[in-house]
Amino acid sequence: MDDRSKGRLTKDGIRIYEAEDFAGMHRAGELAAHILDEIAPMVVPGATTGAINEAINRMVDEAGATSATIGYKGYQHASCISVNHVVCHGIPGDKRLKDGDILNVDVTVVVDGWYGDTSRMYVAGKLSRKAERLIQVTHDALFKGIEAVKPGNTFGDIGHAIQTFVESQRMSVVRDFCGHGLGRVFHAPPNVLHYGRPGTGAVLEPGMFFTIEPMVNIGRPETKVLADEWTAVTRDKSLSAQFEHSVGVTETGAEIFTLSPAGKFHPTWG
């Protein structure tokens, strides 16, 4: 069954899924979140991001699921691992983590055709005060966005909630990457911007599935992509953080598909 066979599209081209589809998204989201729980003990000084990625790849396999990122536009890994000033799409490799490094690990799995996409922050060794504040603001920004998810609100309301909070903390929201619709496909309409004006953009309806995945920089918001054509970094080399959940709109608010089964979504928890 492909994506076109389920539900209907809004005038903005956003798919409205059916009540029974939430269960499929929960299964995919839970596996992605569980994998992120399991790697937490591996994030230590001296570990390579390649070894963490290998563990992720193995867990996806052992679950009988598939990685959405392997083969996606030529990407070859089961995760993106973005260290320090890397904003997103960091490629796992041989580089060893150092004490105090902060990193985002982003995993997308496919379970019975449903996509679960989530990322969170980790620290190798001791978390500095500066990085801890960035991580807390980014985490809270994601939840400000999720709180704005309810029928009748707009995507602009989500972006506005995130942007006003981040800027009130004197940090900046990355504009060059955004969240996205997902479901039976990895990336679908709409683009979920993490900045915006209230009341603008498409109106939220029950049955919409999408990610919210704000990237926040301590310094300026501008990014550039390195010669490997994937790794996005802050232009001013300032630290960057990101958290991502996949959510569905219900009659009253949001259901989060990618909650941590172990309650370990944040590096200072669990």
Residues of this chain, 39-78, that bind ligand MF3 according to CB under 6 A: 69, 72-73, 75
Give the nearest distance from C-beta 258 to ligand MF3 in angstroms. Answer: 11
Residues of this chain, 81-100, that bind ligand MF3 according to CB under 6 A: 89
Q: Is 139 in the site for ligand MF3 (CB under 6 A)?
A: no
> Residue 62 — left, alpha, or beta (φ > 0 → left; ψ -120 to 50 → alpha)?
alpha
Q: Is 108 in the site for ligand MF3 (CB under 6 A)?
A: yes
Could you give the 3-state DSSP secondary structure of residue 214? coil
Q: Is 228 in the site for ligand MF3 (CB under 6 A)?
A: no
- From the list Co ion, ligand MF3, none, pick the one residue 11 interacts with, judged by a Cβ distance below 5 to 8 Å according to partner type: none
Q: Is residue 209 within 8 Å of residue 247, measured between CB atoms?
A: yes
Determine whether 11 is exposed, middle or buried from the number of CB atoms within 10 Å of its CB (0-12, 13-18, 19+): exposed
- From the list ligand MF3, Co ion, none, pick the one residue 163 interacts with, judged by a Cβ distance below 5 to 8 Å according to partner type: none
DSSP state of 157: H
Q: Which of 21, 30, 101, 117 is in the footprint of Co ion by CB under 5 A?
A: 117
Of 10, 259, 13, 5, give the one whose Cα is nearest residue 151: 10
Q: Which residues pair with 224 in a beta bridge?
A: 233
**How many whole angstroms separate alpha carbon 221 and alpha carbon 29?**
29
Q: Which of 21, 30, 213, 255 is in the footprint of ligand MF3 by CB under 6 A?
A: 213
Instruction: Count how many residues are written for the chain.
Output: 270
Q: Which is nearer to ligand MF3, 204 or 215 (CB)?
A: 215
Q: Which is nearer to Co ion, 163 or 211 (CB)?
A: 211
List residues near ligand MF3 by CB under 6 A.
69, 72-73, 75, 80, 89, 106, 108, 117, 211, 213, 230, 244
